[in-house]
Amino acid sequence: MGNPLHLRRTPIDFAENSQIIEIIEKVGDFKQLAAAVESDLAALDADKIPTGWRDRKVSGELRFGFADAQGRVPALEGELNATLDAVCQRCLEPLELPLTSNLRLVFLGEQGREIDGEAYEVWELDGDELSIVELIEEALLMAIPFVAMHDGDAGCTAKAEAGAAEEKMTLPFANLKTQMQQED
């Protein structure tokens, strides 16, 4: 059997077989994800672009089954993990961006949102078949923060520079209220 990432079947087929797909791949194996990372890293000088960013690991597990007891609502639960190279939007330096995407999906219309009291997200398909690669790419792309930044102050040169600037800042109106009260 070939790579399970390239399987295209209906969600019902995956669910009926209780398909479990373990993922241990590289960022470069996902065209859309790699294109998004490459586009972001293009903002860096060539000497700052991390080497081997395409070889970073994407891992996880997808478990298919049914969300209802009657076996009519195909569902997927799983977790995806990846560490992407990105550009900190605060200091414009490279950073390692850890991503985790927890999935609880059903592949039906709006009636599938809540099954047996448990909330699921409805995943819309283009056509009848589900592409595992496309699902993984889309889930990870949605997990990327809108503005990537270093976590806390560690490693962010802009945060350190901003702190130094705050120390030097003069506040010309800091005691204005006191001065106005003294004039009255």
Residue 4 confidence class, pLDDT cut points 50, 70, 90: confident
Question: Quick check: helix, strand or coil at residue 84?
Answer: strand
DSSP string, 56-77: -EEEEEEEEEESSTTS-SEEEE
> Which pLDDT does position 57 carry in this prediction?
97
Give the CA count within 13 Å in the CB-facing half-sphere of 23.
27
Q: What DSSP character marks residue 107? A: -
Dump pLDDT digits (tens) for 84-95: 999 998 888 999
Dump pLDDT digits (tens) for 65-118: 998 888 888 999 999 999 999 999 888 899 999 999 999 999 875 444 555 556
| Contact (Cβ atoms closer than 8 angstroms) between residue 48 and residue 28 | no
| Contact (Cβ atoms closer than 8 angstroms) between residue 5 and residue 60 | no
> Which pLDDT does position 111 carry in this prediction?
47
> Which pLDDT does position 112 carry in this prediction?
45
